[in-house]
């Protein structure tokens, strides 16, 4: 239904919160998206859903709320992690420096890039007020066990407010807030961006637990517009509804309607199937990279772990997914005789064996992640790789991906190229991607050695 509302909006271009019919309809459709989100994440009616223009705005809003209401003393602690997007680091730094209260500490990570829960809790104390972490890394793709983390923290320190940046995870993981509350593993705040789950750019929302919003009196980030109930010459009064208080100004109504459209589609998806298909493509990429690049492809970290690979029914995916008709049995995945390397690639293979392409792959140890892999080389920059791949009509990003601390302190490289796989990708695209990464990498290495 939301797609009809979106078409109606563009046809009539109404504003919300007017009393005429077009505006009244636009308001109803706008509010229906809020209800769609609540239904999709299965939260309670009096929990708060606040529309934003994305996670950066959402994280800034939440940071300001915490600094004003929760962080009272210089020794109050905010825990972040090295995996965080800059939007979950810089606002804390700026507000702490400005207000002269609070201090940042960093969550301990193990060698595989997952939070060391035992060490984290042992580091916390009565001064720890907030922990703000991402559910999944936008660079290495690790999915943190947030339910376990939240439950263990709340059992020891129930006063700590837990903020989850779900920007990267929301499109891959189905959240059930009521179930999480029942298990005492629910975050106090959850933030995501709409474009990450196939909605329009410039959209997103914040979930705020009703227990948190009833305990504290939060203030808006911006003033004016519809948050006012009374304006006098020198003082004004504001609405008490948190969603109204934080949705200042004219909202991106068509963008918000697009979130409703995306979530209506997502409701029809079998998420176990989607995740397994995503991991099938992930494994396929690793397989082809190993095949084309041989010992030039290195999967990090090297851990002393053993694991039994999860039993994914690839055959089931191939029978039901229209894009994988070419791969009509499981044997093709492990023994594809149709793959051939070019003569140029074969000849280069025998030269310059010190050249490597690295990735961070914790899935080989059975650890859960989304379809994201970083790539980097010891002989050329990620920007060179991405530039040449663009000529092959391959669109991947290069840089620190707004996660400088992860690159500096965990990966210990300045930049990476990032592969991001989702349910709209096909095995043919994955094969082509690996082929072109391999051939381009060998070419770049050859160019360097010719200098």
Active-site positions read: 402
Query: Sign of torsion, CA 323 329 334 340?
Result: negative
Which residues have a Cβ under 8 Å from the Cβ of 236 and sit 6 or more positions away? Answer: 228, 230
Token couple for 238: 């504001």
102: Cβ contacts below 8 Å, ≥ 6 apart? 67, 71, 73, 74, 76, 77, 78, 92, 95, 96, 129
Taking residue 240's Cβ as centre, other Cβ atoms within 10 Å add up to 9
Work out whether the CA dihedral 358, 363, 365, 368 comes out positive or negative.
positive
Strands 357-360 and 297-300: parallel
């Amino acid at each position: 239904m939301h797609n009809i509302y979106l078409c109606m909006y563009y046809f009539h271009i109404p504003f919300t919160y007017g009393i005429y019919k077009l505006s009244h309809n636009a308001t109803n459709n706008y509010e229906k998206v809020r209800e769609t989100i609540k239904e999709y994440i299965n939260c309670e009616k009096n929990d708060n859903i606040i529309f934003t223009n994305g996670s950066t705005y959402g994280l800034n809003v939440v940071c300001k709320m915490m600094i004003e209401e929760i962080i009272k003393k210089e020794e109050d602690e905010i825990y972040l992690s090295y995996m965080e997007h800059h939007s979950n680091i810089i606002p804390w730094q700026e507000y702490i420096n400005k207000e002269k209260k609070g201090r940042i500490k960093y969550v301990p990570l193990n060698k595989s890039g997952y939070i060391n829960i035992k060490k984290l809790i042992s580091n916390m104390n009565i001064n720890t007020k907030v922990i703000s972490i991402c559910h999944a890394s936008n660079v290495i793709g690790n999915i943190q066990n947030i339910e376990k983390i939240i439950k263990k923290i709340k059992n020891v320190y129930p006063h700590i407010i837990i903020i989850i940046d779900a920007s990267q995870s929301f499109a891959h993981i189905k959240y059930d807030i009521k179930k999480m509350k029942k298990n005492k593993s629910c975050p106090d705040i959850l933030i995501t961006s709409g474009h990450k789950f196939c909605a329009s750019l410039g959209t997103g929302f914040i979930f705020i637990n009703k227990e948190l919003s009833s305990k504290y009196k939060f203030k808006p980030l911006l003033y004016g517009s519809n948050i006012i109930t009374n304006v006098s010459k020198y003082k004004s009064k504001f609405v008490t509804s948190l969603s109204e208080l934080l949705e200042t100004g004219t909202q991106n109504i068509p963008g918000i309607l697009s979130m409703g459209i995306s979530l209506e589609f997502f409701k029809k998806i079998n998420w176990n199937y989607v995740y397994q298909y995503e991991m099938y493509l992930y494994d396929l990429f690793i397989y082809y990279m190993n095949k084309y690049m041989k010992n030039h492809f290195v999967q990090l970290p090297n851990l002393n772990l053993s694991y039994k690979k999860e039993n994914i029914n690839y055959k089931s995916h191939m029978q039901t997914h229209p894009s994988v008709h070419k791969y009509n049995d499981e044997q093709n995945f492990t023994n594809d005789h149709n793959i051939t390397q070019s003569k140029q690639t074969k000849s280069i293979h025998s030269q310059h064996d010190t050249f490597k392409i690295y990735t961070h792959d914790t899935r080989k140890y059975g650890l859960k992640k989304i379809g994201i892999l970083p790539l980097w080389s010891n002989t050329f920059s990620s920007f060179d790789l991405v530039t040449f791949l663009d000529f092959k009509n391959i669109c991947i990003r290069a840089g620190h991906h707004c996660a400088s601390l992860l690159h500096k302190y965990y990966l210990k490289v300045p930049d990476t190229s990032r592969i991001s796989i989702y349910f709209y990708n096909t095995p043919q695209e994955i094969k082509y991607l690996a082929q072109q990464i391999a051939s381009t990498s060998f070419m770049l290495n050859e160019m360097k050695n010719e200098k």
